[in-house]
Amino acid sequence: MSIETEQLHLLRRPEGRPRPSDFALVEVRLPDLAEGELLVENLWMSVDPYMRRSMDADAKDLEPWPIGAALDGPCVGRVVESRNEAFAVGDIVESMSGWQRHFISDGTAFVPYLTPNNAVAKRSNPAASPQDYAGLLGMAAMTAYAGMNCLAAIEPGQTVVVSSGAGTVGSVACQIARIRGARVVSSAGTDEKVEWLRSGLGVDHAFNYRTRPIADSLRDGCQQGIDLVLENASAEHLSACLPLMNELATILVAGFVSIYSTGGKVHPFANFEFVLDRYLTIKGYRFMDSLDRYDDFVRDMLHWRAAGQLQFRETVYRGLASAPEAFCSLFDHSVSGKVLVALGEGAP
């Protein structure tokens, strides 16, 4: 059955910080299903900092978003019509076809994120809701798990530093590091977020990186030196960590959210001589490098949440029209935890 649906399109490539007016809500008619296709109604979509880079024409490792056409991004939906034997009406599926209410897929086997956006994966763990698959079990949480559980060998008592601690990757990483017995030091951009890190997540030393020099706060919090850094934020933060690193320590770089709206212009690195002096390892990584651990990730995250060892804070916007505002909020320090958009039940 052919249906009317809504998509968000990009109107222009912004300079600097994105604005909701960079997007337009557009009505489109989807065609009848061909043999082998399925129609999915999206229930939840995720907004993520990397999407700012998708707005640029030279998005480097990403496919740039087109102007005036459907966008892509992580989402979870329900199959509402199927002419594909592998999918039944009611199946919950995860895909990269976000920023739209409905989409048609040929159901091609799931390909990890950032590859063809019509691939879908069935998700059926009875302990997880569609919202969980977009948030608790989504790619940002998986990034934290990959860093703290797959790549790093954290030993009890070690000092782990996490930047952007009140974001999704950061807040999950702080908690996994604590579960593994580390002493955790973390930063955030408002006093309210710092208080959540301290009293909500049990971070041992939390500080506001916008109101005091980062180096001073790190010195106060890392009196035994630093054994592991998970860098999410900036060259400024990473540079301040370097003189405090212990010998043979590791720096995992998940991202640099501070430069996504600067066209890649990076605050100059400092203190790089400590990489040699302290025999440091610096490793950039992506969550999809650890997708062979996806089942362990799902099991551990659901277990930690059920056992009360892990809190997963979410900020929920409602309705597709609110997605641009949700996305822009990632860059103005106003939100914490995972930012999701409800498109199905719960949306206006």
Identity of the residue, 102 or 193, whose beta carbon is nearer to ligand NAP in the bound complex: 193
Tokens at 184, concatenated: 């955790």
Find the binding residues for ligand NAP in span 85-124 (CB under 6 A).
none
Interaction of residue 255 with ligand NAP, rule CB under 6 A: yes
Question: Amino acid letter at 199?
Answer: S
Which has the closest alpha carbon to 75: 47, 54, 45, 30?
45
Tokens of 16: 């600097």
- 49 makes contact with ligand NAP (CB under 6 A): yes
Binding of residue 232 to ligand NAP (CB under 6 A): yes
| Cα Rg, the chain, nearest whole Å | 20
Number of residues that bind ligand NAP (CB under 6 A): 33
Q: Closest CB to ligand NAP among 118 and 190?
A: 190
- Which residues share a beta bridge with 186? 162, 206
Q: What are 318's strand-pairing partners? A: 342
Q: Does 333 interact with ligand NAP (rule: CB under 6 A)? A: yes
Closer Cβ to ligand NAP, 192 or 277, answer by number = 192
Binding of residue 143 to ligand NAP (CB under 6 A): yes
Is residue 233 part of the contact set for ligand NAP (CB under 6 A)?
A: yes
Please state the closest distance from residue 229 (CB atom) to ligand NAP, in A: 13
Sign of CA dihedral 339, 50, 332, 337: positive
Q: Are 150 and 173 in contact (CB under 8 A)?
A: no
Specify burial of residue 29 (Cβ count, 10 A radius: 0-12, 13-18, 19+).
Answer: exposed
Task: Give the residue with the Cβ less far from ligand NAP, 157 or 213.
Answer: 213
End-to-end CA distance of the chain: 24
Closer Cβ to ligand NAP, 133 or 256, answer by number: 256
Determine phi and psi for 21, rounding to 5 degrees.
-70, -5
Contact residues for ligand NAP, defined by CB under 6 A: 48-50, 139-140, 143, 164, 166-170, 188-190, 193, 232-234, 254-258, 285-287, 330-331, 333, 335, 338-339
